[in-house]
Structure 1
């Protein structure tokens, strides 16, 4: 049984694992790699090719065909028919083996391409290595978006959250801490541990690797499921049933024919001796051989020797068509299973949409605007009054304190970088943050320069509970906090609002108007973010999240659109024509 590292102090863990915050030396890493092996899950041994071919023959219908071929050659004396049936069976096996072999090779190539990396500290330097080269005792740095490459005991963390649904089944994010946990806890409650196969969703952390490869919790699960047999596909079940049914019919017909023929021959006296006083055995033997031969011929005729080759050709064409659409199917008979699909649940962002968020609407100072733009290109500018349809002068709009603070919040409250790479505008960071950064660039100029002028002092990362992020920046000769996030959980934090250039107390009428605009934007398939801020009084601890995220001034709302992929329309229409219901799963507001 593996050790519960969650109840051990991090300093004691480092001593026990003979590691330190300065990282392992290269010699020590090499020794531990040789001792423990690569940090990867051991896959089941590959099946020999001859066995794969043999598996193609393991089917009741194929058994029936083999029996029919043997009977045709040895009893019925139909050499041509028997050889043809054997040829069909062999071609069926070879084609099935070849198609599945091609799929296995494609999967192997994809696995080789998918190499995860991570940041570790070795010999007091940060290095990027392949996750397979991690060893026990390695010091590893984790940030949001990272795949957890091994079982890790957290040493220090800053608003670090992980999604452990793949391990625990719990969809809620777990906040991770560096302190030891007293008492025995179940896996899902070990909040100072991060496990291989989970994903970092927020913040950052520093940890030490305590288990790699098959010794991780994921490795134990993988070891337990290796003995589980793959269930049969609906087609395999139907073919097995068909083979048994046809075999039963053929056998029943043959027995009935033989029995009834002998019975009628007996009634007609065909088996009587010459004096009529007994039964002659020779006529009975002759009739038995004759009728048995006929029964076997009927048995052979009933078996559909062309069915397997037709199935292989049809399924093979299906595999090739799926491959053209970048879908690899390893088991040929699984193609038919797709025909049983009745519901498809799909993610929205990046699947149905292009994952290029763009701010297209703005609400500030009780006015709504339409923002021109496409993707992350900040050079596509233009703001239009939504009601009058008239172009708005951006310089004049910046003279309004409320609008300017809205633009400032969009520019500073994000963790994205916008850059022009070889003539194409690209963003590094969360798509929603990138959209607000692009909007800030359009209104106040390049983000990098603006952020340097107004340096960041602290940050509270976005998390699923608060549904917002906050940055504290030096701005306008003082210290300001800027917050962006979902309106509902932020609404109770608003105490002020800019109106006609003056800062006043927010009223219920203001909040009602804000809710109506939020509902209108969300109803138009926009992701809506509320922007807020305040000047932080002197003496307030900027690391106190409750103090910083209180008494905020409402600045505005922005509506973000992620344009749908052009091929999504056709794909959904095709699903509907096939009678398949498509369900879009999204974290956006339900309107």
Structure 2
């Protein structure tokens, strides 16, 4: 199991620690004990009221924090329940990160977090950001090794895979918690949960950082100032009164001195000093507004209950872990929301497609395409992807996996007649240029036969279009793109204006004699991205998540 062990809360005495020991509470507690000790006969209720206020603040804060922390543990565990894809039985299966086990094969791509410790078994240009583990912001440099790995699919059996290995470790090990900065690959899981490097690190870190909220900072600043002023005045008054008392200037109502050297007994002198000290303590108690921390705590507790009772928040399983979070949320001026998966379903669908100057309507009608164009198009989609298409043997529906963009294009290709496994088995991948956010495109070189190599590119429509000098029309004839470039730019602009994501698919022929033979040279080979032939431009629509989305956004604003 991937899950890390939960920390215990300790004995009930830990409630005092949970409640906190602010400057207010420290000041009041320091005055509480003398009031109780010297005021048992008269005025003990002053110390008792102070003690009651302090205990009430601590108990309300601690109990609320403790109860919400228990609920937050369940909510946090649900938040950590990340869904990922693994290879099991020759197919990609989406599972919870808590269900990953040793021996699973996990595909990796740019932006993914390594879910467990493992060994890299296949990859292209894979670079790992290990800053979360090592503290180094620099991407780890790699060298290339060849390892023999057997996969369950026939097209991968007994094939050599290019691996990138850390220079300093001389082994293809990946650590949990690291980010994939570039490239694609697949790793074999070797350890999960607390047995990973990330798990050991997280188990030794406390969840609570003790960071103070702005309100707490201001209250502590005021408390410190009042405490210093009150204590200074109290010490000054104490000194003056003690001097007056022991010098005989302090007199009773009848005019007699309260202290006469050599005549006043020790017990009477101690009682007089205690009364003077009580006056100084009273000054400190009066200076500190003991009702303020109680009012703040009760106000935050009321705010938390109101947030929990709010129907709009209750439907989203909102939990408040700390009382101070209510104050922090009350100070918020701007709400930022993630779009993908929050405002949208994180799903896309191809709704427009251009092949040559012809707009395919509907976009999945393969009868409107020449066989040659359709074959090249499906070949490029099948090889130049990080997704996968699985067809169950029992004749059930196909399963398409990958990113939302990849899934949308693969679904479109399947409707055009794509047989994923067959197309990939008919040609061999020579080199892959993984998609990255800088170039906004990805490419792959495949060997179709002994003398012919196809280089397929896919990416941002305007960038791929700029690298094309020709296009194939719907009849399969090669045409010059110079005269029709404005037409394609207008088509891309119209799709973008309709909030569609535009992707262009292109290819070019390449002489097999120019392909590097040496393994290291092949790894460093830069795929040609000029003189491309445009195959298609597709527009994908993002599916909206909720029907009342506009109302929700208006409500938040």
Shorter-chain TM band: 0.5 to 0.7
**Shift of residue 554, structure 1, vs aligned partner:** 0.4
Does residue 468 (structure 1) correspond to residue 442 (structure 2)? The answer is: yes
> Structure 1 residue aligned with 2:459, among 451, 471, 485?
485
Residue aligning to 1:60: 23
**Cα 1:441–1:206, aligned 2, differ >3 Å: closer, same or farther?**
closer
Within 2, Cα distance between the matches of 1:523 and 1:133?
43
Q: Distance in 2 between matches of 1:565 and 1:455?
A: 34
Secondary structure, counterpart of 2:118 in structure 1: strand
Give runs of aligned pairs for residues 166-177 of structure 1, distance below 5 A: 166-167=132-133, 170=137, 177=144
CA deviation after TM superposition for structure 1 residue 525, in Å: 4.2
RMSD, aligned CA: 5.8
Q: What does residue 358 of structure 1 align with?
A: 349
Q: CA deviation at 1:101?
A: 1.9
Contact 2:108/2:184, CA 8 A, preserved across alignment: yes
Q: Which residue of 1 aligns with 2:537?
A: 557
Deviations 1:382-409 (CA, angstroms, capped at 9, x unpaired):
57xxxxxxxxxx8698157898679757
| CA deviation map 1:98-153 (0-9, x unaligned) | 2222233234435666568996999xxx9999988999xx6552313675344434
**CA deviation after TM superposition for structure 1 residue 208, in Å:** 7.2
Equivalent residue for 1:143?
Answer: 107
Equivalent position SS for 1:559: strand
Deviates more, 1:318-327 or 1:544-553: 544-553
User: How far apart, CA to CA, are the structure 2 residues paired with 1:286 and 1:538?
Assistant: 106
Displacement of 1:309 in angstroms is: 2.9
**TM-superposed deviation, 1:471:** 8.8
Shift of 1:497: 0.9
Contact 2:22–2:220 (CA under 8 A) maintained in structure 1: yes
Structure 1 residue 530: deviation in Å?
0.5
Displacement after TM superposition at 1:248 (Å) = 2.8
Are 1:332 and 2:323 matched, yes or no?
yes
How many correspondences in the alignment?
Answer: 499
What is residue 217 of structure 2 aligned with on the other side? Answer: 237
- Contact kept, 8 Å, 2:144 with 2:164, in 1: the verdict is no
Structure 1 residue aligned with 2:154: none
2:176 alignment partner in structure 1:
196
CA contact 2:35–2:44 (8 Å) conserved in 1: yes
Match of 1:205 in 2: 186
Q: Assess, with a 3 A threshold, how the Cα gap between structure 1 residues 518 and 127 changes in structure 2: closer, same or farther.
A: closer
Is the contact between residue 400 and residue 407 of structure 2 (CA under 8 Å) also seen in structure 1?
yes
- Of residues 399-408 and 459-468 in structure 1, the stretch that sits farther from structure 2 once superposed is 399-408
Deviation at 1:561, TM superposition (A): 3.0
- TM-score, length of structure 1 as denominator length: 0.62
1:235 positional shift: 3.6
Alpha-carbon distance in 2 for matches of 1:87, 1:499: 85
- 1:121, 1:397 → 2: CA distance? 36
8 Å contact from structure 2 (residues 64, 323) kept in 1: yes
Tell me the equivalent position of 2:410.
437
Length-normalised TM-score, structure 2 = 0.65
Alignment of 1:142-541 (within 5 A): 142-144=106-108, 148-157=114-123, 160=126, 162=128, 164=130, 166-167=132-133, 170=137, 177-179=144-146, 185=167, 192-199=172-179, 203-207=184-188, 209=190, 217-218=197-198, 221-222=201-202, 230-254=210-234, 296-320=281-305, 321=307, 324=314, 325-339=316-330, 347-366=338-357, 398=368, 412=382, 415=387, 428-440=401-413, 444=416, 451=420, 457-458=426-427, 460=432, 462-464=434-436, 467-468=441-442, 470=444, 483-487=457-461, 490-491=464-465, 493-499=467-473, 501=475, 503-519=477-493, 521-522=495-496, 525-533=499-507
Secondary structure class of the residue paired with 1:558: strand
> 1:73, CA displacement in angstroms?
4.2
